[in-house]
Structure 1
Amino acid sequence: MAGEKRIGILTSGGDCAGLNAVIRAAVHRAAHHGWEIVGIEDGTQGLLQRPVRYVTLDRNMVDGNMMRQGGTILGTTNKGDPFAYPMADGSRKDRSAEIIGGLRELGVDALIGIGGDGSMAILRKLAAIGGIKLIGIPKTIDNDLGVTETSVGFDTAVAVATEALDRLQPTAASHDRVMVLEVMGRDAGHIALSAGIAGGADVILLPEIAWSVQGIAAKIRRIQQAGRNFALVVVSEAVKTMEGAAAQQQFTDGQKRYGGIGNYVGHLIAEATGAETRVTVLGHVQRGCPPSYRDRLLASAFGVKAVDLIAEGKSDRLLAWSNRQVIDVPIEEAIKTYAAVDVDSTLVQTARGLGIYLGD
């Protein structure tokens, strides 16, 4: 596809490691075609401002150091559905036309959106209404998009959680304690499962598998009877209580978010076993660090391929990693395919084969 083009790029939803590597790769590949990349600031929020908030990106701005940076240099948001935008008076307003107008004001020929399933659903709807060519790149530490084997940010989140277990093990052994680590995972337990296996956990609690305190206590007793004085427990934040309720907290902005299941589980373990128990909530530490080499590679491959798809005239496609290569699939198909932990998967079987308690 010949001619000079202007491509918009934005990050949407929660941040994660690897976003800057995507942006960098897209800028370098666009420069190869002689095209311009404009970075839209704070996701769709930047498109609601007048003038639109953006920065023109060139290769001098995106050197190798950028790949090492966590977060996103463009900023992002996971608030404010443009089709039902919360207003100051408490009402909701459809502001989608303003966002589409912002894209037209920028004069972009295509848009690269980096986000999860929720962001992709919104961006796809905006693109369809506005006649905008859209290429999506999957990023979520939860790794719950079914069409891709892995998403940008997941590998780093698992690496951070695994390192946390490595650091908790010596202090657990020194004090004869049960250490409970609560990790992120909005609805799926992929982080907990992968990090738990890699970090030598004794118990891994996932939202996909029912559990009981009696089962955990029995596992800890077996560990003690074998002569070990400590245990490591990993809990996904989306794990439900014994009563089947989600452990959530309400914040000052009115939103409810996951939080508290680690302390809940830790208290039950202490009551059931008499063991001294400590709880660590890893939280946003899993998001904000420099990306792992795998996330840098994945992000770079996605960024290059996104620009190549635009060059081929393609639109309404989401990139995915499959069989060691980047593929592209329809966005609609991609966001319909959700991937929770498969209870019969290889990793679940591995955990059980290692004697890790996953549930009853």
Structure 2
Amino acid sequence: MTKTKRIGILTSGGDCGGLNAVIRAVVRRARDYDMEIYGIKGATQGLMNRPVEAELLDMKKVSGILRYGGTILGTVNKGNPFAYPMPDGSIVDRAEEVIDGYHKLGLDALIGIGGDGSLAILRRLAQQGNMNLVAVPKTIDNDLGATENSIGFNTAVTVAVEALDRLTYTAISHSRVMILEVMGRDAGHIAVSAGIAGGAHVVLIPEIPYDLDEVCDRLMNRALRGFNFSTMVVAEAVKTPTGEPVRYTNSLGQTLYGGIGQYLGDQISSRTGMESRVTILGHVQRGSTPSPLDRILGAAFGVAAVDLISQNKYDRMVAWVNREVIDVPIAEAIAQYSAVDIHGTLVRTAIGLGTYVGEIDQLIS
């Protein structure tokens, strides 16, 4: 008789819409191959803990989770096992504990759902510890170059557009400039997509420099033409005109993006006399009910990941390319960073709609 394969699955990095769709699809597809799926709690931390924190997932446990935000397995975006911060302040390599946890569970393979950072760590663990790894791309930033879409991106854009729609009504009612600051790390995919879908008049992204005087002139010209409001979307990694990123340090000593929207709002008000208000969307973009597209993508990725394991194809990441699921080497996937294409359709569309997206001529001249 053929031995039943025992497959682990974990979610790592920041949460987002669509993670549970992947988990559900993996469990449902695994039935066709008589595989057992073990959900690992808290990403690599679950494999590090003793006893290992994992549970057998069956159809009942994944019933109804398709529409849930977040992840039923829990996740972490800190605590790199190769440089793990201990309570006494020391840094310890605990990679072997994670690897040992994989083998203690008797796993034949591991499905890791994460972004470039998480997948780089998981692949290093797999290479060091003889672990069979299949990866699923997840990042609201959509900056993994080997896939056109990653889990969570569409949901984040949907939330941003809904926020911009609501802010537009208030902008009209109060004759204001409304500025929406969105996440995306160093890429402007969320900002430019939400800006087009939400009808923003100015969209600023890290990939394109901007002129603050030109931004103010655009807003003033709208007012002179009889429009009593304007809306802006700005990506969190956009810098000040002097080239400085706007960051803050939290109580844990972590330096994070945040505040460029307020900076721009203050500058616009002082230069134009126009009243501005700023909304920093933040983690609202992560915690939403997943969009239909992210549910579909999660389902397709989950099925494809199990199919790869059935074929004993490891060290691969599933990806969405030309409306199909393909698989690529994980090393290749995490090496391809995808910023917004300044020559691409979305930027051209925004410009064609009359949206100010920065000094694009400086980059293409």
Q: Could you say whether these structures have the same fold, taking a TM-score greater than 0.5 normalized by the shorter chain as the test?
A: yes
Corresponding residue number in structure 2 for 1:273: 272
Q: Distance in 2 between matches of 1:81 and 1:99?
A: 11
1:28 — aligned with what? 28
Decide which moves more: 179-188 or 216-225: 216-225
Alpha-carbon distance in structure 2 between the residues aligned to 1:293 and 1:100: 35
The number of equivalent residue pairs is 359
2:103 & 2:125 partners in 1: Cα distance?
Answer: 12
| Runs (4+) off by over 6 Å | none
> How far is 1:272 from its partner?
1.4
The aligned runs of 1:238-257 (5 Å cut-off) are: 238-257=237-256
Identity percentage over the alignment? 61
Q: Which residue of 2 aligns with 1:55?
A: 55
**How many angstroms does 1:348 deviate by?**
0.3
- 1:29-48 per-residue CA deviation (whole Å, 9 max, x = no partner) reads 11221111000000001111
The equivalent residue for 1:149 is 148
Counting only pairs closer than 5 Å after superposition, residues 1-360 of structure 1 correspond to structure 2 as 2-63=2-63, 65-360=64-359
The separation in 1 between residues aligned to 2:230 and 2:125, in whole angstroms, is: 49
Taking the aligned partners of 1:270 and 1:319, their CA distance within structure 2 comes to: 47
Distance (Å, rounded) in 2 between the aligned partners of 1:55 and 1:271: 57
* Runs of at least 5 residues in structure 2 that lack an aligned partner in the other structure: 360-365
CA root-mean-square deviation: 1.0
Q: Which amino acid in 2 is paired with 1:175?
A: H
User: Where does the alignment leave 5 or more consecutive residues of structure 1 unmatched?
Assistant: none
CA distance in 2, matches of 1:285, 1:238: 17
Q: Report the TM-score when normalising by structure 1.
A: 0.98
Task: State the alpha-carbon separation in 1 of the partners of residues 185 and 237 from structure 2.
Answer: 6
> Is contact 1:31-1:59 (8 Å) kept?
no
Matched position secondary structure for 1:83 = helix
Residue aligning to 2:363: none
- For 1:316 and 1:272, the matched residues in 2 are separated by 54
Matched residues in 2 for 1:142 and 1:39: separation?
25
Q: CA deviation at 1:11?
A: 0.2
Mapped to 2, the partners of 1:60 and 1:35 lie a distance apart of 16
1:2 Cα deviation from its structure 2 partner: 4.6
Q: Against the structure 1 CA distance between its residues 171 and 5, is the aligned structure 2 distance closer, same or farther, given a 3 Å change threshold?
A: same
How many Å apart are 1:340 and its aligned residue?
Answer: 0.4
**Offset of residue 103 of structure 1:** 0.6
Task: Give, in angstroms, the shift of residue 250 of structure 1.
Answer: 0.4
What is the rounded CA distance, in whole Å, between the counterparts of 1:52 and 1:239 in structure 2?
A: 42
Q: How far 1:211 moved relative to its partner?
A: 1.1
Shift of 1:212: 2.0
- Cα drift, residue 89 of structure 1: 2.0
Q: TM-score, normalised by structure 2?
A: 0.97
